Amino acid sequence: MSSDTRGRMTITEQGDALVLAGSIDETSALHELPASARSGRLVLDLAAITFINSLGVRDWIRMQLAAQKAGLAVELRRVSEPLMHQLNMIVATRGSAAVTSFYAPYACDACGREESLLIDAITHAERLVRLDPPPMTCPDCRSAMAFNDFPERYFSFLSV
Ligand SMILES: [Zn+2]
């Protein structure tokens, strides 16, 4: 066995959420997550997910199906960009989960800063459906930042 465990996924409880961090792969034991649901809700905080490989995607889809089968309401919170790309590419990765907030790429034309910024999908639901990214302010120079991806691609998970 490899002794290299860098990035291996960890799970910690924080408030009503399970906080997942690191890389999602076949060692991530995602199948154990539905058992941790409370009062029929499974809330996953995904801000610290840095990578997901193809076996991780497979297990992720299985986890979503198992949660669905168990009648759980799955909430995906603070979804990181690597996971957002999967949710947008592969419909089954989203399952019946509700994405309540997610990270998206922004860039500042004035100073060049690029940043992954959190978007509240509930507050901004109407404009997101219109493929209209919410305005963000550069943390460095306070200029307006521009959305740094294609909204029709990045927000496609909303139209599933
Ligand atoms: Zn700036």
Say how many Å lie between the CA of residue 68 and the centre of ligand 1: 43
Digitized pLDDT (tens) for each residue of the chain, 160 residues in all:
444 445 689 999 999 999 999 999 999 999 999 999 999 999 999 999 999 999 999 999 999 999 999 999 999 999 999 999 999 999 999 999 999 999 999 999 999 999 999 999 999 999 999 999 999 999 999 999 999 999 999 999 987 5
List Cβ neighbours of 77 (8 Å cut-off, separation of 6 or more).
17, 43, 44, 45, 46, 47, 100, 101
Domains in the chain: boundaries: 10-99
Q: What is the pTM of this model?
A: 0.92
What pLDDT, on the 0 to 100 scale, is given for residue 160?
Answer: 59
Range 10-99: architecture per CATH? 2-Layer Sandwich (3.30)
Which residues keep their CB under 5 angstroms from ion ligand 1?
Answer: 108, 110-111, 113, 138, 140-141, 143
